[in-house]
Every structure is written in structure tokens, then in C-alpha cells.
Structure 1
């Protein structure tokens, strides 16, 4: 049996952090990179069975269990539990999989499982009831299929009403009544149907073509409780699940706090997260752990934390862990994203990412070392994906040509890489002097106005692809406002195209950065992203008055160099 003292502190921290867990608005890494591991999972079958109970210790007729590839991914499928709350699921992908537990009016719970061999695990869980807001200034409703929530009407008695004509036979909705402002089911409206992430929709049936919903905050159930789980398996399984669960809780709380800070200040600068001694204690656990396999997994888990901006994360220690696990070690397959610690460790441990030529070469040398030594096809694919994207972003045509040749010859059976080559071709249509691709977008400020290649003729303008939580995009805002104010009367304009929804962009512009130029959202317009070969964000392109491409080098269109570039093409002497 595992020494309970080993878990005494983590269990307490996990329960505290678990209450705060929410969906992250900021992804730690691009999904195309993270998901590659899933494509190659070798077949393993781990059977997990147990019971799911609500906060009062009772089974629920609506209880569901699903499996997911990560702590933020949508479950592949949900299955209903038996009447007594019992369930049984099989995990078939080698790696770390998550069991997702859901009951209406309860926080969903995700438990990580190490699926590395054939085995059986018993996992019993008790979910925590939602913590609802104490007071309500407003309540919003999200209709299934609607792009953004709508406000409910507050009545004099403190209740909230929603009425709408509809031709639907049934109406699914969620309310933002949960303490962390997450949209969840209305506890007074049944039946419930699960959404994609572990919460539920409430279902009502319209009468005479009209849906009527009345929400009374006084009727909300107030049940303070803590989620808990009991896992019966081997010693490593028990330790890993609890350690990873606690780690996920810290990462989620960090991301949630960053998101809340951003929504309030419209910037990430100045954000600080107090993780206490978590990472200091984590290193001590690593150094005291006797099982060599678990030690490696914990070290890699430590490496995956580098993007969180934690104060006590020791990059010197991270470098030690990184070099202590050789590229050919199969442990990397369980945390393929840990490889990207390379971006922080080189050229030196205390330097943040600066994309200059020397660092690019240093990083590529480390990636090449992994590519040469690893025996894992999923790791090779992850690295090759990174190299292709970087070669495209830096305009390294020769490197891109080499990668195309390598992948075409040696990875014909890897669909993810073959798709990647089609997405990032060697020959680009975005060459200097070429015609700008045709496009037409609707103005964010006036839906009756459209911007197109034709309507923008006569001005030198910057097309800026961005999104509201993109840190480097936000870092460019001050510079964009300065050059716009300086050159707007000299024939220069900006067209910002956000891949976020209208509501997020409007919220962003109500705060510090007004963006007084042309704006549009292209959340559903994948064609324009494909035509302009957008591979990263921010993605600036300078277009001439004749509609032809003047500059596509991102380095020349960001920071101080942007003004120099504009002065050159506008034939104005820079200050």
C-alpha cells in the first residue's frame, strides 16, 4: 500500500484547487502539436470500473462517464451509469487518458489514468456540487447553437425572465449562474442532457411557439462539498493519478486566474500567480521518489509547466531534468509536449523566448537531436510538425524543401504529416509583388459595410490576423496604435481580422486598446486563413495601394521595424 503521508499535502491542495477548476481560455500549446500523440497511440487495454455518486453520496439517473485524451479535450463519448452509479470503461490508447465524470448541478471531474499496460483499476468518485454566485447583478442564457449568450430580464421581485418565439419542439439552454461564471444547467429545469465538456443543458418544451424561462436565485441549492476519489491499483498508478490530478488543478487555476486578469485589464502584463511552494515541494517529491519510471514521468510533468509563468518554477532544475532523460527514452511518449521546454532553455536558461536567428539555430539543433535519437514515431511527428511550421514562419524555403522531401519519402503512412505538407506548401502564393488574395469581410462597427481587396485599393494598409488572448498580439497593440496615429493621414490604414467572436473583440476594445481602424471577425472564415497562408499569430501582411503584396516578413512588420518599413513604402523619412 502507498504511504498515506506521501499524499497528505497533495490531497488537501488538490481538493482546494479542484474547487476552482474551470475551462482554460488560453491553450498552453497549439492543438495540432498536442493532438499528434493521440494519432499514434499503441493499443493498450486498461479497464476502469467503479461508482459515481453525487455530493450527498447518492447515485444519479443522469450520471455519465466518458474518456478524453487530455484535461481540456472533449470526451470521445459519454456512457450512462447504472442505477446504482456503477460503470465500466476501457482505455485503449497508450499514454495518459482521462476519465470524465458528470452529474447535473455538479462540477465535472477528470481523473488521469496511466495507460501503459494491460491492467484493471477500480475508481470510485464523489462529485462536488456547483458553487453558485452569492449575488446576481445580471444573468445570461446561452441557447444551444447560439454563438453568444443573451441577457435575461430582471424583474422587480429579483427573478429573471426569458421569452422568445421559436419553432423548435425542444429548447436547450445553460445559465451563467455558477460562481466562476461558467455556463451550466438550470437546476430547476429538467430533463438534462450532457454537453460536450461534462456540464449539462436544461431542456424545456415551448408552448404555442413561445419558450418561457423563469430563474429564481432564491431556489438555488446551496450545498458546499468537496470532490474526492479513491483509486485501487498498483502503487505507481495510485501515485501518478493523484500527483497528476493535483498538477492539473494548479495549471487550471493558473489559466483561470490569467483569464480573469485579462478580462479585467485587457492585458497579461502585470499578472502574477501565487502557487506557494508547490513547485519547490514537487522537486522534493521527484528527488525522493524511488520508482524510476514514476520519477521520469514527474520530471516530464515539471517540464510541461513552463508556459504558466510560475514564480517558483526553476529553469535550471528543468534543464537538469531535460538532459537527464535521453531522447530515446519511451517516457517522452507520455508527455510529448515536454519537448517544447527547448524554447525556454535555449540559448540560456534565464532568457525568455526571443525569436532571433541564433536562437532558432540552437533550438533546431536540439530538435534535430531528438529527431535522430528517438525511436518513437509520435515524437518524430511532433518535432517535424514544429520544424515545418517554424520554417514556414521564418521563410526558410530551403529548410522547408528539405522537410517536404524527408516527409514525402519516409512518412507516407502518417496522415497528420501528409496533411501538414498540403497546409504548408513550398511554393507560396504570398510572394512580394503578387496580387493579394481576394477577400470580403463585414465591418465589426457597421454590419452594412464590407471591406474587400477592391474597396481597400488606393491605400497602403496592414492586414493583421490576431485574437484577443494572443500574448504577442497584445504586445503589438501599443505599437500599432502609435503608427496608425502617425501615418493615418499619409495614406496608411489597418485592417484587423480576429479569429475570435464579435463579443470578445468588442469587450477587448472597450478597455485599454480602442483599435480605431477597420475591424472584422473571421471566426468561421477558414478560406481567408488558407488563402493568406496564416500559420501563426499575430500574422501581419503589408498591402500596397495597387492591391499587391509589399511585405510579408513578420520581423519587418512588428515592433520598431514596422515604422521603418512604413516610412520606406510611404516614402516618408522616419524620426
Structure 2
């Protein structure tokens, strides 16, 4: 239920975008004003156009790539807000409200005068009949825990948890189709979670705390979804036209997210979105927004690889169109280099990076968005490492270290490129985990005595995990009778997600465990920083291989080398 940002690979939620111009050369949209600051005021309301229980606006300078000049603006109880912005900056605005989908806006203050901008958010889609509900608790002493809520006779969900007295913050999982961790919408006090949602906050007197959620009472009517989003401003007609297009785009991204949340395997295609984008591009009223629409189209799943080649050819490296949420220069570069769906993740960017080396270098030197440049360096370094081209890997990795330590995702990028892992040849940690279908069956190291086995950390929402399914099945089919086993360890929200997935194309006919909402000690013990992660363990319980050597088609190659050596030793 977490957003893609919270689920790596999910990496990033689809939200509203406001872009003032389609080209850096277009200066006709806003009246010039020679002041160093501007003031944006207005009202933020909910899907019913009424003030929300609590709302907030995050304002981050787009080009700095850091938290410098970051503002967090509270929206008052009437929905009013006021933001003072430097005129020499472009900004990313995150607007969030209790019970609503957050939105992001890109705002070009270099082109703005003082203005009024009113926004209403779309409601979160609440499930009317959730299968499983869990609660994440944060207590006053800083501890964090997750608990499943049990179904009650009246259809509600409840958990009784023994806690010391003090403030408790909590979010619920499993109540939103968008798979977000969100507050109980009927709570009376909230606190922003710095990620686009809120915690419910209560003062606990000590003893048993009962957390209850009743879909029939607590959920906002699902029909309200997408009913609220409206924009009005004191901008000129051209500006309002751009805003209207951005509002429609935001609606499209939200609908795409909800549509794709039910898809468990590639290809992840959103056909309605593809048709909508084509209709916009064919509409004469949007002729001035041609480049903007081209950039937008890259965010809609199912586009041909040729579209990304066109985007790279037509949108300048320095354009801040590359900063639109869900629009990525690095992703466009990788997909432009794809010649077949069968190619592994890294091969597309290797294919294209040399061909467009000048474009890449111009992006790294000229684009104002440090976050986007750091993402490109990370993906280049990662892809060259996967391709065993270590000179190129080191070049881009060192550039990331030297110039981008200030960006928000720097530590995560470093971890991806230099992941900590268990040392090869050393004993793997002990573990105990229950089977997902038989709670009386548990797996531990002893369960795999005299076996070579893969500990496969994965999730149904992890696109790279799903793309490696053919390779896992092939390796299992070829080597299972030689003494190879797999234990897949799911980081999904619920066991029901795994069971649903296995009813599709990929049966995964091996052993399975559930990481209990990513709180199982195996995650820490096996240094799992993202998904997929895998370790190949030998018959003696020592780490045989990890990282790239057990990913994709290389898993079978690693197993072949191991079993060939083993057979040769016997002979």
C-alpha cells in the first residue's frame, strides 16, 4: 500500500504537475516583474471543496538538489496558505492533505508575478472490502512496530496492543487501492509524515491500545475519487490553459497508478492513457504544448521504444521538462536503447549511452536539476557494473561521489552501487521463517542441509523481480534435481498478494516465506536494502555468491560452474 517511492520500485508516485513554459525560450506566458521575491496565495481544499482536517505544502528549490531554502508551509483551518518564493528559482511543490492523494507542482518563479492559486485535491481510493489490514506504530520512545488487524464479526478490523503510556502515531496499510500507508481518516489529530501522507496521533494512557478500522464507517466514499480536483488562478488565459492540461495529466497519472496496481506481471501497459495522450497531441488547441506533451507521454506505460528516442532527440538536455514527476532522462536513455523486451535491464542504457554520449555529457553539465543528474549517474554506473564494464562503472560512480553528496537520494544511490553484502565463503546468518501456506512448517538453515539454495528477497510490486521470473524458473527446472532449492522471501503487504500472483503466469513451485511487512529480522541480518536481493548458499551453509552473479540469466551460469566443479571433484 506504500507509494512507489516507498516501494522501490517504486520507486515514484504519479502526481499533479504545473509547468509554466514548454520551452526555455518561451517568455510570453508571464508578465515580467523585476522583484527578487513573489508571493503565491490561495486555498487548498479537499475533494468536496471543503478545508481538510490538516494540509501542508512542501516547497523545495528544484535546481539545488538539496534541502537548502526548503519550506514547509502549513495550510490553516480555512484552507488558506501563503508562500514567498525567490524569483530566481524553479520549485517543486508537494501539496498533501488528510484523506487525499498528494500532488506535486512544478513552479517557475522566474516567470511569475504575485498570484493567487486555488487547488482541490483528489480523495484517496479506500477499499470497501479490504482483505488484510495492518497498522504501523511509532511510539514516544522512538520504537516502531507493525501489527496485523483481525477481522471482526461486524466486518471491521481490530488489534489490541499492549503499550506504555505516551504519544502514539500510527498509519494503516491495506485500506487503500493505491497501496499507500495512510492515516485513519476518522482520527481527530494528525501529524505529517514528510512523505505525502499523515499519521494519526493519539495520547495513550497505558495498557492495551485498541486500533480499529471499519470500512463501512471510516472509509471516504470511493465514488469521490477524482471528483475533487479543480484549479483556479489569477493567471492569464495562457497560464490557465497550461494549468488545465496539467490537471488532466495529473488525473491520468492517478488513474494509471490505480489501473496498474491490479497488474501482477509485465507488460505494464496502460492503454487508456496511451489513447488519451494521442488525443491531446492531435488536438490543435495544444499545438503550443507539443514538447510538454512529448515529455508527458514518456510517463504513460506501454509506449514504443522509438518514442524515447524521439524524446531524447527533441527535448534539450538543459530543459526542465526532464524534471516533471514520472519523466526521467535516465529512463528515456535506457528505453531508447532497448531493441527487444528480452534484453536485461542494464543492456538498454549500455546500448544507447555511447551513441548519445554528447547528449549525456550535456545533460550532466547543463541541466539545472542535480537530483536528475545524480539519478543518471547512478543508472549509468549500475548498468555498466551489471555489464561487467568496470572502467565505465568507476567513472560514473566517482562523479556521483565527487559532486552529488548533497542530493536527497545520494545515500540510497551509494548503497545500490556499493551494496553491503555478506562476505563470500563465510557462514550465512541463522534464520527462521514460516511457510506462507502452512503455518506449522518453518524453514531455517537446517532445512536446507546438503542443498545449494537461493534466498530470494522479492515482492510482487518489484518490476525487476518480475522480469527475472523466467530466469528463476529456468534455473529451478534445470538444477532442482541436482540439489538446488529456492526460498523466496516476499516483502509484500500481505500473503494474499503472493497467492494471487502465483495463480498467474508464474507458479514459483518452490518454498516461500513472508517478511511480515518488511519487519522480519532476515532483512537486517542479510543486509537487504532493496529488491530484488539474493544470496546463493552452499551445502555447508556458507555464502557461495550474491549480487550480480545471481541475478537474471547469470544465476544459471553460476550454478552451472558450481555443479560442474563439484562433479569434476567427484570424478
TM-aligned CA deviation for residue 45 of structure 1: 6.0
Which secondary structure state, in structure 2, belongs to the residue aligned with residue 260 of structure 1? coil
CA-to-aligned-CA distance 1:77-100 (integer Å, 9 cap, x gap): 754333433111245695452341
**Aligned counterpart in structure 1 of residue 163 of structure 2, from 166, 181, 199:** 166
Q: What residue is the counterpart of 1:302 in the other structure?
A: 297
Query: Is 1:88 aligned to residue 79 of structure 2?
Result: no
- Aligned partner of 2:486 among 491, 494, 512: 494
Counterpart among 205, 228, 233 of residue 231 in structure 1: 233
SS state at 2:76 partner = coil
Relative to 1, partners in 2 of residues 1:213 and 1:527: Cα closer, same or farther, differing over 3 Å? closer
Match of 2:93 in 1: 98
Measure the CA separation in 2 of the matches of 1:186 and 1:83: 19
* 83-92 vs 220-229, greater mean Cα deviation: 220-229
Say whether 1:364 aligns with 2:359.
Answer: no
Change over 3 Å in CA distance of 1:245–1:484 after alignment to 2: same
Q: Does 1:341 align with 2:335?
A: no
Matched residue pairs, number?
508
Name the SS for the 1:89 alignment partner: strand
- Once the two structures are superposed, what CA deviation does each residue of 1:206-250 show, in whole Å capped at 9, x if it has no partner? 567333466666656769553322133355643444333322332
Q: Does the CA contact (< 8 Å) of 1:443 and 1:450 recur in 2? A: yes
CA distance in 2, matches of 1:364, 1:568: 36
> How far 1:257 sits from its partner (Å)?
1.8
The aligned residue for residue 317 of structure 2 is 327
CA contact (8 A) 1:143 1:173 kept: yes
CA drift of 1:50 comes to 0.5
Return closer, same or farther for 1:570/1:185 CA change in 2, 3 Å cut-off. Answer: same
Distance 1:479 1:228, change over 3 A: same
1:404-427 per-position Cα deviation (integer Å, ceiling 9, x unaligned): 66667xx45755699689658899
> TM-score, normalising length from structure 1?
0.69
Give the drift of 1:337.
1.3
1:53-92 equivalences under 5 Å are 53-54=45-46, 57-59=49-51, 62-67=54-59, 78-90=72-84
SS at match of 2:460: coil
Question: 1:568 is matched with which residue: 536, 539, 564?
Answer: 564
Whether the 8 Å CA contact 1:26–1:255 is kept in 2: the answer is no
Alignment partner of 1:352 is 2:345? no
In structure 2, C-alpha distance between the alignment counterparts of 1:171 and 1:230, rounded to whole Å: 38
1:363: Cα distance to partner? 1.7
* Runs (5+) with no aligned partner, structure 2: 13-35, 139-143
SS of aligned partner of 2:358 = helix
How far off is 1:259 after superposition? 1.8
Does 2:387 align with 1:394?
yes
Query: Following TM superposition, by how much is the alpha carbon of 1:392 offset from its aligned partner in structure 2, in angstroms?
Result: 1.9
Deviation at 1:281, TM superposition (A): 1.9
Are 1:51 and 2:65 matched, yes or no?
no
**Residue from 266, 272, 276 that aligns with 1:278:** 276
Structure 1: 5+ residue stretches without partners: 1-20, 32-43
Indicate how the Cα distance of structure 1 residues 528 and 450 shifts in structure 2: closer, same or farther if over 3 A, else same. same
Output one character per residue of 1:298-356: Cα deviation in whole Å (capped at 9) or x when no partner. Answer: 33232343xx22xxx454454333212343556546677134212222255xx436139
1:144 match: secondary structure: strand
1:480–1:250: structure 2 CA closer, same or farther, 3 Å change rule? same
Give secondary structure in 2 for the equivalent of 1:151: strand
* Structure 1 residues 288-299: aligned runs within 5 Å: 288-290=286-288, 295-299=290-294
SS in 2 for 1:278: helix
What is the rounded CA distance, in whole Å, between the counterparts of 2:216 and 2:411 in structure 1?
53
Q: What's the CA shift string for 1:446-473, capped at 9, x where partnerless?
A: 8997756x99675433343433322342
Distance 1:212 1:558, change over 3 A: same
Residue 211 of structure 1 aligns with which residue?
Answer: 209
| Contact 1:435 1:549 (8 Å CA) reproduced | yes
C-alpha spacing 1:515/1:287, structure 2 compared with 1 (3 Å): farther
Partner of 2:261 in structure 1? 259
Q: TM-score, normalised by structure 2?
A: 0.69
| CA-CA distance at 1:184 after TM superposition | 5.0
Other structure's SS at 2:376 match: helix
Distance 1:185 1:279, change over 3 A: same
